[in-house]
Amino acid sequence: MDFSSVQGKVAIVTGASRGIGKAIAEVFAENGMKVVCAARSLDQGQSVVNNIVSKGADAIFVQTDCSNAQQIKALVDAAIAHYGRLDGFVSNAGMGMGGTPLHEYEMADYNRIFSLNSEGVFAGMKYGAEAIFKSKSDGGFLINVASVAGLMPQSGQALYTATKFGVIGMTRVAAMDYAKYGITVNAICPGYTRTSIFGDAADAAMSFFEKDCPSGRMGDPRECAYLALFLASDMARYISGAAIPVDGALSAGHKSVTTWKHPELITGEALSSRSTIAAIMEDSKGAAIVNRYLPGFADNEQVKQAYGMTFQALAPMLGLPENVMNAMLEELDQL
C-alpha cells in the first residue's frame, strides 16, 4: 500500500476540530499532505493543527462557519494564499438532528440543518472544484462525508436523511461532470461512529447503537480517515461517484435471526453435545451415535427444522429418559 502519491498535496478538511474531520486531517498530515483545517471553534481547531505541526507535518487553521458560503469561499482563498494551490476538498462539517416525527420539526430546524449539511457541502464542492481546476492539479479530488442515512433512511431522521441523500446526489452528478478532467468525487457514508454527534447520549442509547450494528460495535473515526486517504491517492483514480459505507454492515440489509450450523469454525471447539445438530449429523461418527439412540432421526423432516439447535437443548423435548439422554450426550462429548 503505497500512499506516496498524496505527499505534497494540499487539502482542505472542514469540521476538522473533532471527530471524523480531525481524524482525516491527522491521517492526511501523517502521510505528507499539507492540510488546511477549518472549523468554527478557534481553540479546538488550532489545537488540532498544533498537534499536527508538533509531529513535523504541515497544517494551518482557518476559522470558518461552514454554514456560510462566503466563509467557505474565504477558506479556499486562504488556502491558495498560503500554499499557492489546492488539490482536494473534504466536506466533513455537518450536524445531526433526529429522533422526532417529521411534523414536529420547525422551519428553523430545516433552515439550520440544510444551511450546513447541504448548502455548506455545495459551497465546498463549488469553490473547491474551481480552485482545483485553477491549480491544474494532477490528481484532484472532492470527498464528501455523507452518512449511512443517505443510503438507508432512518425513522425520526427526516431532515438529516434528506440532507445526506442530497449530498450523495450532488456527489454522483459532480463525479460525472468532472470525470474527464481527472477530478474524482466520492462520498464516505459513516455508520454509528464514536464522535461528538452523539452528544451526551445515555449508555443505554450507545448500547442500542452497538447492538443494532451487525459488527456489534461502533466505528472509530480513523476508519473513515483511512478511506479518505485512499480516495485521495493515485490508487483510487478510477473510483468516482461512489458512496462508500463505513458502517460495520449496517446498511447491507435488515438483520434477522441467524443460527450457525458450524460454530466450531469460530470457537475452535471439537464436536460435542454443545455443537449444533447439523454439525453432528454431518459427521459420520456423530450421526452413528444419534441413530443408535434415536432411530430414524436423520430422516425426520420436522426435526431438521431444529438443526440449528444443540442436542443438549433438544433431547429433553424428545421425551428421552434422563439416563438415556445422558448416555447419548456423554458419547457425543467423547467424539
CA distances from 110 to 96, 153, 325 (A): 12, 17, 65
Active site residue 307: no
Which secondary-structure segment (H or E) carries 184?
strand 184-190
For 125, residues 6+ apart whose C-beta sits below 8 A from its C-beta are: 89, 91, 142, 144, 170, 174, 185
DSSP string, 216-255: SSPBPHHHHHHHHHHHHSGGGTT--S-EEEESTTGGG---
CA distances from 272 to 25, 79, 263, 311, 315 (A): 51, 65, 12, 9, 14
Please state, for a pLDDT cut of 70, what percent of the chain lies above it.
93
102-159 confidence digits (pLDDT tens): 999 999 999 999 999 999 999 999 999 999 999 999 999 999 999 999 999 989 999 9
Give all domains of the chain, ordered by start, each with its CATH number.
Answer: 4-252 (3.40.50.720), 264-333 (no CATH)
Cα dihedral sign, 70-160-151-225: positive
What pLDDT does 200 receive? 59
233-261 confidence digits (pLDDT tens): 999 999 999 999 999 999 998 776 566 66
Higher pLDDT, 333 or 300: 333
Gap between the Cα atoms of 283 and 291, Å rounded:
12
Q: For the stretch 102-127, what's the b/e string if a residue is b when 16 or more beta carbons lie within 10 angstroms of its beta carbon?
A: eeeeeeeeeeebbbbbbbbbbbbbbb
- pLDDT band with cut points at 50, 70 and 90 for residue 321: confident
Gap between the Cα atoms of 312 and 329, Å rounded:
7
44-71 confidence digits (pLDDT tens): 999 999 999 999 999 999 999 999 999 9
User: Catalytic one among 105, 110, 127, 160?
Assistant: 160
Q: Residue 108 in 3-state DSSP? A: helix
180-231 confidence digits (pLDDT tens): 999 999 999 999 998 876 665 667 777 878 888 889 899 999 999 999 999 9
